[in-house]
Structure 1
């Protein structure tokens, strides 16, 4: 019987596993990886949507069915990839969707479903590939977050909550796996022409009239941006590959002028607020010297 040391398929270049690969960033990353000479296992809930890519790159793109919220299937897909190729070099957690709604409008079910998709699914995939990457002494995990994973605004509370959670997990993960030669890259895009704002991908919570002035403009305006966003997914994919190939891969990579502007402004605002309240922050210890170690 075949095992990790005896792969059943030949792989050109690196072996990628990309979720949500049928469209948007996922598809662009698949195309960029193949162009770079690599092999991609492209995962989607409807793998038939990848038929064109598979036909264009026989043996280089392999489609698999995967709903990342199905943790049993997650484990099976990773095991299949390792059986086929003997390794996983790059995992891209990309599958996702949007949700518009104020906190009060968002149901518990909506929040839990989105957390399963954006947080628990990627966490399960990450845990599944790590033993193989540690054995290899190399690998990379790419987490598709959002500029909404660094700052938030009215109407995207649930979406940002899931991305904030993913970024928190990934920040710790990066420090945990660096000694094993494994990289972690958090990608924070702004508005790109990925179909994210289309009616099929963008869900909306049932509105409460009291929030019409606050959330209403986003409800009506965001779907209208579909196909007119400034970001180019192909350029985003190229930037991701460049960051992974860099000697010092960044932990976070903002993509798009809107993301760069928004994140920069949010960082400035956070620092200004911290400085304004720093004396209060530092005045809450007991008077005696603490025995706890101070951070470096």
Structure 2
């Protein structure tokens, strides 16, 4: 049976290629973005297969309205792809409070808005898939990633938590962790840097910007191939909670896992000394149950 997809940030990049892959598979797609004319340029006028909707994910009412319009046209939503986002790759002290909040408003609270609008639909259906596009930067931090990586770490924690909350309703959540893909992510039309200039960071800031500029449109990842993979995952009965996209992502995430394990092992003896004398058994039971807090 064909599926109905709802894709944010679909005018270009990963979002556009995911939507095109779903259409090529015979599914129907609601494509959303800030500028409807850009969506129609990418997907042609609306048809019985495609509905283009203007959506600023930072506006909760717009998210609710877009979901209502999708239901009015297609009657259901089977797959949500939370893809809308951008990167502020400035060094932390060179960014402002307003820049940090803007990064969170789109990458985190915007994702919340759309998910909150779609979840009641998926619950009523007792079925659905959610793909939350994170990044390798959702598991690894680095210079220039203090804002962007923080938002993607938030997406990871949010997604892992709601995956457990909604599983009983037949809803499956997958966190997509792309490496470097050949999109406009590093283009001047998308990426942002800190607006402050601090002399102590001048050399590092210049090096980082040159590094990102050199990667622009020269990344290894193929967005069209990722789109086809997500269509495949949407058909899987037991999709993964996390999906690393690209050989670079596999290598970087593998390295992070190994480093975490090594650090945990190195400090294990000191870590366990913080247990209360009367709670050792409780801690063991909690660890076995997989709960936190």
> Shorter-chain TM-score category?
over 0.9
1:62 partner SS: strand
Aligned positions of 1:32-181 closer than 5 A: 32-55=21-44, 58-181=47-170
> Where does the alignment leave 5 or more consecutive residues of structure 1 unmatched?
1-11
The structure where helix makes up a greater share of residues is: 2
Aligned pair partner of 2:193 in 204, 229, 232: 204
Q: Hey, what's the Cα distance between the residues in 2 that align with 1:246 and 1:291?
A: 39
Deviations 1:85-112 (A, max 9, x none): 2211111111111111222222111111
- Given the alignment of the two structures, is residue 217 of structure 1 paired with residue 207 of structure 2, yes or no? yes
Shift of 1:290: 4.9
- Alignment partners' CA distance in 2, 1:273 and 1:241: 37
Question: Could you tell me whether the CA contact under 8 Å between 1:19 and 1:43 is conserved in 2?
Answer: yes
Q: CA deviation at 1:285?
A: 1.4
Secondary structure, aligned partner of 2:251: helix
Hey, which bits of structure 1, 4+ residues long, moved more than 6 A? none
TM-score normalised to structure 1 length: 0.92
Change (3 A) 1:48 1:181: same
Q: TM-score, normalised by structure 2?
A: 0.93
Query: What SS class does the counterpart of residue 234 from structure 1 fall into?
Result: helix
Q: Say if 1:154 and 1:215, in contact at 8 Å, map to a contact too.
A: no
Q: What number of residue pairs does the alignment pair up? A: 285
Structure-1 residue corresponding to 2:286: 294
**Which is worse superposed, 103-112 or 179-188?**
103-112
The two structures, once aligned, show a CA RMSD in angstroms of: 1.6
Structure 2 alignment gaps of length 5 or more: 289-293
**How many angstroms apart in 2 are the aligned matches of 1:103 and 1:45?**
27
User: Which residue in the other structure is 1:254 paired with?
Assistant: 244
